[in-house]
Amino acid sequence: MSAHALDRDLAALAASARAALVREIDASGAWAADPVWRQAFEAVPRHLFVPYYYVGVVGGYERRWGESPDPRARQEWVRGAYADAPLATRLRDGELVSSSSQPSLMAMMLAELRIRDGDRVLEIGAGTGYNAALLAHRLGDDRVTTVDLEPEITEAARRHLAAAGYHPVVVTGDGARGVPERAPFDRVIATCTLASVPTAWLGQCRPGARILSPLATGLIALTVRDAGHAEGRFLHTPVYFVPLRGADRHDEGSVEWGGVPRRARQDDLFRFLLALSRGSLQPREAYALWEREGRPSRERYGITVGADRQWAWLDDPEGPHTWPLR
């Protein structure tokens, strides 16, 4: 088979796999809040954003890439690129530092961002550039800014975006500081886990802006009142992202579990409370609260960000159950 014919077959396979992925996301209800996102996922070719990725195998990772000399390996790469699964895209000393998120989760987050035509969006964590391409398809290049700390990540994202025909603004810098020269923003979306909400974002947002970010294995949706205040609740969905680079990491091996039953230690909702109240509640205290309050789901928790402090809370930001965020 000629190289041209092989490329033609791969393009057909990619189109078929992308259509199947869209049907799968559609069936999951991920973009029910804003079905317009279906058009973006139909149009943006994910395989161009993951020219290689890693899959877990016994003893480590195996690399799949689109330039493999083996035609079957290239077909496997294309199919994997359109699986509804996260893809590890960068490793450092065996540790994951960047990935392409699960498409159905991306679809849900974009729908929950509640974008309106004409909005200006800041994305924290450029990754492969795929999410920025989806945003650019919906809003146009000039209304999308994406930032990442690592030059090699932003350089690769620019290449991927250009190959797919998109040219949003890609900035190399500390996402915690935002991108003031591109402000003001109507929406901010983070694709990395935070320990607290950078207050710099609030000052770069218009009043009424929406911030959506992973935090403590949950997804917080904040409404910005002004540069000194934002508040909101967690969505019901559990999420697990690579931490914002430079942020502290929680070593679960150091947790003292005394007095906490094994079933609670393994319960996702209890572990969410434990992560959210870290540094304020010991596991035994958190367990007592969790049981007393009826094992609350994520939607009962929220965060308030003020000019000089920010805190998490259960049910009421001024209620009895609040914890300072670092």
- Sequence-separated (6 or more) residues with CB below 8 Å from residue 181: none
- Cα–Cα distances in angstroms (integers) from residue 326 to residues 36, 177, 224, 278, in the given order: 37, 16, 20, 9
- Cα–Cα distances in angstroms (integers) from residue 160 to residues 21, 48, 185, 234, 284, in the given order: 20, 6, 24, 32, 48
Instruction: Annotate 8-45 with b (16+ C-beta within 10 A) or e (fewer).
Output: eebeebbeebbeebbeebbeeebbeebeebbebbeebb
Q: 115 near 221, Cβ under 8 Å?
A: no
Question: What is the biggest distance separating any 2 CA atoms in the chain, rounded to whole angstroms?
Answer: 70
Beta sheet of 60-65, edge-to-edge order: 60-65, 52-57, 87-92, 95-100
Coil vs helix vs strand at 72: helix
98: annotated active-site residue: yes
Residue from 163, 152, 104, 99 nearest 128 by CA: 99
Q: Which of 2, 28, 98, 196 is catalytic?
A: 98
- Sequence-separated (6 or more) residues with CB below 8 Å from residue 243: 192, 193, 194, 195, 249
Instruction: Annotate 169-196 with b (16+ C-beta within 10 A) or e (fewer).
Output: bbbbebbbebbeebbebbbbbbbbbbbb
Q: Annotated catalytic sites, by residue?
A: 98
